[in-house]
Amino acid sequence: MEKDHGSGPGRPADALGMTPKEMRRLGHLVVDLVVDHCESRADGPAIQQGTPEELRAVLGGPVPEVPGDADRAIRTLVDTALANMQHGDHPRYFARVPGPSSFAAVLGEWLGTGHNAIATSWGGGSGPTTVELVVVDWLRELLGMPEGTDGILVSGGSLANLTAFATARAELGDGVAYLTDQTHSSIARDLRALGFPPDHVRVLRSDEQLRMPVGELAAAVAADRAAGRRPLMVVATAGTTNTGTVDPLPEIADLCRAEGLWFHIDGAYGAPAALSATGAAALAGMERADSLVIDPHKWLFQPYDVGCVLVRRPGALERAFTINAEYLNTSAAGGEVNLRDRSLELSRRSRALKLWLTFRVYGAAGIRAAISQGIALAEFTESRLRADPRWEVVTPAQLGVVTFALTHGGDGAHATRAASLAASGYAAVTSTTVHGRSVLRLCTINPTTTEDDIIQTLDRLATP
């Protein structure tokens, strides 16, 4: 049939009346401001925090009733709102999990936003849906999961893990979940939100290397069975946030298979390391997961937000989340997937465009090299610490994370040193605890970080 697009001149380009000329002018201004930020971020602070009064004084006020100056408003956002935050893309932001997003990903995000892309149903978004299915399959392949594994992009690790847990329970029914004291704190919240009662959440003390103790896991499973409870799933971590530790995945996979348990892996932080040779060795066994979470906004160079859950059983996500039973299992047959049926989100933006563009622009090789560099930088940090009598390494470099302590008087000083370094603006590091011991922690996954950045940061931390 001939298409009828009903074209005609004179229709406004902007829903609220901005002219195309002004749209271009402001759009170019925004691009310039962002590229300026990318070029000069190393000269600014790694983290900055304002007071509520300061921020409200500039950003607050009554509802703006009449049109305002767009240039001024944009600059206010840049100078005040966007200045006062952790700059996770700064080369010396080593705290928590940095967010070194790539520019191709930013462009993908802008394109999707500019087109108001929606990835809810096949009928309403076949293009963005295809991009998402393709991207999820690229991730599946890179992480070694079998063909037929399904997946979905959500806002991040917390929601990706929750999506996996809801799916496990829909497939297998109620039961006990096994974690460790190193499992990310969002996981206990996910389980609580899903209605797991406290006696269905078993938190094991991690072993000396901060790993899940498989012997104690087996004993806990047996004890629960003996007490009439039903063991449901094990939540292993592939790269803990605190120390980058990987649980003994092959042994846990064996136990899950023998006991008929769902094997979930939270690789929100660490799973991208599988793209590099060193990371792949550390993460062996990850491909055996029933469900696996990876957060591209952590270590795949994506801006917030995007997390991904992969589920080995074809159709399990749809069985858990289909919004209308009439559609159940009708969508995937011809490749016409309705992504609204794979998570709790109905209207959902296309988080896949940025990832797709990143892979197309830099190639997996470019991403792999950047990940390898992050791993190597943590190893460099460890070697500097070992060569310096002022420092003791507490946990070695693992997947881009190293923790360490002052040889003398660390306990009281770590938090103060980290805070004054952050206040100086030079760098941001985390002060945390490892099995109750106070430590400092660097996460070195930003490929724009130099060895000199690390040398200077360690030196400032060592100096009272």
- Residues engaged in binding ligand PLP (CB under 6 A): 97, 156-158, 184, 186, 237, 241, 266, 268-269, 295, 307
Please choose, from the candidates 178, 124, 186, 117, the residue with its C-alpha nearest in 3D space to the C-alpha of residue 153: 117
Half-sphere exposure of 76 (CA within 13 A, CB side): 13
Compute the distance between CA of residue 347 and CA of residue 124 in angstroms, rounded to an integer.
10
Shortest Å distance, C-beta 183 to ligand PLP: 8
Q: Nearer Cβ to ligand PLP, position 189 or 386?
A: 189
Nearer to ligand PLP, 129 or 237 (CB): 237
Secondary structure class of 151 (helix, strand, coil): strand
Minimum CB separation from ligand PLP for residue 289, in Å? Answer: 14
Kindly report the backbone phi and psi dihedral angles of residue 185, in degrees, each rounded to the nearest multiple of 5, phi listed first.
Answer: -60, -25
The CB-of-109 to ligand PLP minimum distance in angstroms stands at 16
Query: Over the Cα atoms of the chain, what is R_g?
Result: 24
Question: Closest distance between ligand PLP and the C-beta of residue 52, in Å?
Answer: 24
- If the CB atoms of residues 269 and 391 are measured against ligand PLP, the closer one turns out to be 269
One DSSP character per residue, 334-383 reads: TT---GGGGSS-SS-B--HHHHHHHHHHHHHHHHHHHHHHHHHHHHHHHH
Closest distance between ligand PLP and the C-beta of residue 26, in Å? 31
Which C-beta is closer to ligand PLP: that of 158 or that of 338?
158
For the bound state, the minimum distance from the C-beta of residue 277 to ligand PLP, rounded and expressed in Å, comes to 22
Shortest distance, position 17 Cβ to ligand PLP, whole Å: 37
120 vs 163 by CB, closer to ligand PLP: 163
Contacts of 393 (CB under 8 A, 6+ apart): 382, 385, 386, 402, 403, 404
| SS3 of residue 240 by DSSP | coil
Are 167 and 311 in contact, with CB atoms under 8 Å apart?
yes
Using the minimum distance from each CB to ligand PLP, give the nearer residue, 268 or 422.
268
* C-alpha dihedral sign at 26, 28, 29, 35: positive
Nearer to ligand PLP, 263 or 391 (CB): 263
**Residue with smaller CB distance to ligand PLP, 186 or 338:** 186
Least Å distance, CB 416 to ligand PLP, is: 24
Structural contact between residues 289 and 263, judged by C-beta atoms closer than 8 angstroms: yes
The closest of 405, 371, 355 to 385, measured between CA atoms, is 405
- Number of Cβ within a 10 Å radius of residue 49: 12
Tokens of 192: 């609580």
